């Protein structure tokens, strides 16, 4: 099992109450580490908490991509918002872009509280795309 990054300090940086409810579920409470597996692998879209589960999965996936030092978690998160889109499509709600903005802002706040040297996935992709110089 990969060593997951500690994001407890990042949680303290989140300012939106709604995003705090979501972000608390992406890490292990005792250790403060990001969960090693997708929190809600199968979402029952008929349940009233489906949007919460989809939001947790989205936030977890983006944080894994940016922070983990585990290659399988560093693949492009192209499908990260599919669960959210499915929830909003079923509810006919028009608030998805605004909600994604809130979640993305919370992710940025969490990542800003974590030293840049610990953003392993972002660094890996930065080097792969020749945006960062290799130091090794």
Q: How far apart are CA 74 and CA 88, in angstroms?
A: 27
Q: What is the mean pLDDT of residues 28-44?
A: 88
Q: What is the pLDDT of residues 45-74, one digit of tens each?
A: 888 899 999 999 999 998 888 888 776 766
pLDDT of residue 39: 93
- In which band, very low, low, confident or very high, does the pLDDT at 124 lie, cut at 50, 70 and 90? confident
Backbone dihedral angles phi then psi of residue 6, each to the nearest 5 degrees = -85, 125
* Distance from C-alpha of 81 to C-alpha of 128, rounded to nearest angstrom: 24
For the chain, the structural domain boundaries read 8-128
This prediction has a pTM of 0.82
Tokens describing residue 135? 């130091």
CA distances to 12, 39, 43, 55 from 106, rounded to whole Å, are 10, 18, 22, 12
């Amino acid at each position: 099992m990969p060593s997951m990054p500690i994001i407890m300090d990042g949680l303290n940086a989140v300012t939106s109450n709604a995003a705090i409810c979501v972000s608390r579920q992406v890490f292990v409470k005792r250790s403060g580490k990001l969960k090693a597996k997708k929190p809600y692998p199968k979402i029952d879209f008929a349940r009233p908490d489906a949007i919460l589960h989809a939001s947790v999965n989205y936030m977890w996936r983006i944080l894994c991509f940016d922070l983990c030092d585990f290659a399988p978690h560093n693949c492009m998160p192209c499908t990260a918002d599919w669960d959210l889109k499915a929830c909003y499509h079923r509810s006919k709600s028009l608030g998805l872009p605004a909600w994604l903005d809130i979640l993305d802002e919370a992710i940025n706040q969490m990542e800003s509280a974590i030293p840049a040297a610990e953003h392993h996935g972002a660094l890996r992709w930065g080097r792969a795309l020749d945006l960062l110089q290799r130091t090794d």
